[in-house]
Homo-oligomer: A and B are copies of this chain.
Amino acid sequence: METAAEDGTKARSGDSRVVTMREVAKKAGVSIKTVSNVVNDYEYVSDATREKVTKAIDELGYIVNVSARNLRRGQTGVIALIIPDLQLPYFAQLSSLVITEAKKLGLQVIVEPTLYSRDGEIAALHDGRHAMLDGAIFSPLELGQEDVAQLEVDYPLVLIGERIFTDKVDHIATENVEGAKRATGYLVQTGCRRVAVLGVHPGEKVGSAGLRFQGYKEALEENGIDFDERLVVPAGMWHRSDGVSAMNELLDSGVKPDGVVALNDMLASGAMHAIQMHGLSVPEDISVIGFDNSDDSQYLSPALTTIAPGLEAVARLSVKVLKNRIDGVAPFDSTDPVFRKVSSTLIVRDSTRRVIGR
């Protein structure tokens, strides 16, 4: 079954030796370089020659040796996506989209989960493995504003998210403030006057929790609604069970909210559960709105109204900018680092009441 080759190189198991350009060239009766030219769609190849070569390629089942090409070109066509955890729906979705976008541009993706470790993030950025990567997209979770220096690496890097802000690295951000503002504003439009917020991280400024909370406050202010400290419920983690406890805490405390802005969909899911367990109904008694438009938010009962942060655009833009950098092209006609904020969308489903007067 195994074919052992004469020299050190191992032949792939199966029937055939590996075909090289040399053999294709011989069969087609042209030079190796001409085969290369055909493979790379070089302009100045006559139709006759092109056809001869293509035929030979097909007959021999030739495929380019990517390692050799990489060596010669000094590139690999592979980028890294550095994220905290592939199991978090948000990042699973992001990864999926990045992989799809990268494929369109002929890039492959190696996903590198840092598993919530600061050292993991630093290691991923500086790891020698990058020797074989053309660039990286990085979504920090542990690294913060004080670690800006870590981002100065010697390969193309695109930053996503809102943990760190710097003008030295390309950055694709999402509308955390604006999104939460829109969510809160929407609840107000539907008639809510006592809007609670779940999942706040007290003291945090930069980072999803801080920014989303800020959006909540801005919306209240714009709508002339007084901020009420008692309607603010912190939650360190953003799992479903944290939403359950936070909501229970709120309901048991006696304050009666008529709307809830959950800082992510998991919290919203837990909150809805807690509300229903209290014998109240969503959205009649209390409206609930989430954030992220995670894959299963539409399958909750009731289906969750939420903010879609535009991950597709984040994926598309970050891959595009990275690809430009790799190719030495200036993205968006600017040599400076790019900063782009992707706009969010309100997805209205059944966990909120109708807008008044429509």
6 nearest A-B pairs in the assembled complex, by CB-CB distance: A66-B132, A14-B154, A67-B70, A241-B299, A67-B71, A240-B299
Specify which chain B residues have a CB less than 8 angstroms from the CB of A65 in the assembled complex. Answer: 71, 131
- The interface bits of chain A over 96-123 (1 if a CB of B lies within 8 angstroms of the residue's CB, else 0) are 1001100000001111110000000000
Specify which chain B residues have a CB less than 8 angstroms from the CB of A155 in the assembled complex. Answer: 12-13
Given contacts A67-B132, A300-B240, contact A74 B110 (CB under 8 A): no
A40 at the A/B interface (Cβ < 8 Å)? Answer: no
Specify which chain B residues have a CB less than 8 angstroms from the CB of A74 in the assembled complex. Answer: 9-10, 67
Chain B's nearest CB lies how many Å from the CB of A248? 10
Q: Which of B78, B87, B96, B335 contacts A89 (CB 8 A)?
A: B87
A312 at the A/B interface (Cβ < 8 Å)? Answer: no
Specify which chain B residues have a CB less than 8 angstroms from the CB of A12 in the assembled complex. Answer: 154-155
Specify which chain B residues have a CB less than 8 angstroms from the CB of A335 in the assembled complex. Answer: 1
Bound CA span A71–B132, Å: 12
Specify which chain B residues have a CB less than 8 angstroms from the CB of A71 in the assembled complex. Answer: 65, 67-68, 70-71
Known: A1-B335, A68-B71, A276-B276. 20 other contacts (CB 8 A): A9-B74, A63-B131, A65-B131, A66-B129, A67-B71, A67-B74, A67-B132, A78-B110, A86-B86, A86-B95, A87-B93, A87-B295, A108-B110, A108-B129, A110-B110, A240-B299, A241-B299, A242-B299, A273-B301, A277-B301
- The interface bits of chain A over 233-265 (1 if a CB of B lies within 8 angstroms of the residue's CB, else 0) are 000000111101000000000000000000000
In chain A between 153 and 180, which residues have their CB closer than 8 angstroms to a CB of chain B? 154-156
Given contacts A65-B131, A131-B66, A132-B66, contact A99 B86 (CB under 8 A): yes
Specify which chain B residues have a CB less than 8 angstroms from the CB of A131 in the assembled complex. Answer: 63-66
CB distance B266 to A128 under 8 Å?
no
Q: Which of B67, B239, B240 contacts A67 (CB 8 A)?
A: B67
Bound CA span A155–B16, Å: 12
Size of A's binding interface in residues, CB under 8 A:
63
Specify which chain B residues have a CB less than 8 angstroms from the CB of A64 in the assembled complex. Answer: 128, 131
A76 at the A/B interface (Cβ < 8 Å)? Answer: yes
Given contacts A74-B9, A87-B93, A132-B66, contact A244 B301 (CB under 8 A): yes
Given contacts A131-B66, A328-B10, contact A99 B87 (CB under 8 A): no
A85 at the A/B interface (Cβ < 8 Å)? Answer: yes
A59 at the A/B interface (Cβ < 8 Å)? Answer: no
A333 at the A/B interface (Cβ < 8 Å)? Answer: no
Chain B's nearest CB lies how many Å from the CB of A266? 7
Specify which chain B residues have a CB less than 8 angstroms from the CB of A277 in the assembled complex. Answer: 276, 301
Pull 26 A–B residue pairs with CB atoms less than 8 Å apart, ordered by A. A1-B335, A10-B328, A13-B155, A14-B154, A64-B131, A67-B67, A78-B78, A85-B96, A86-B92, A86-B96, A87-B89, A87-B295, A89-B89, A89-B92, A92-B92, A99-B111, A99-B112, A99-B113, A108-B110, A109-B111, A110-B110, A111-B111, A239-B296, A240-B299, A240-B300, A277-B301
Bound CA span A154–B118, Å: 41
A2 at the A/B interface (Cβ < 8 Å)? Answer: yes
Bound CA span A14–B15, Å: 47
Bound CA span A353–B109, Å: 46
Chain B's nearest CB lies how many Å from the CB of A228? 27
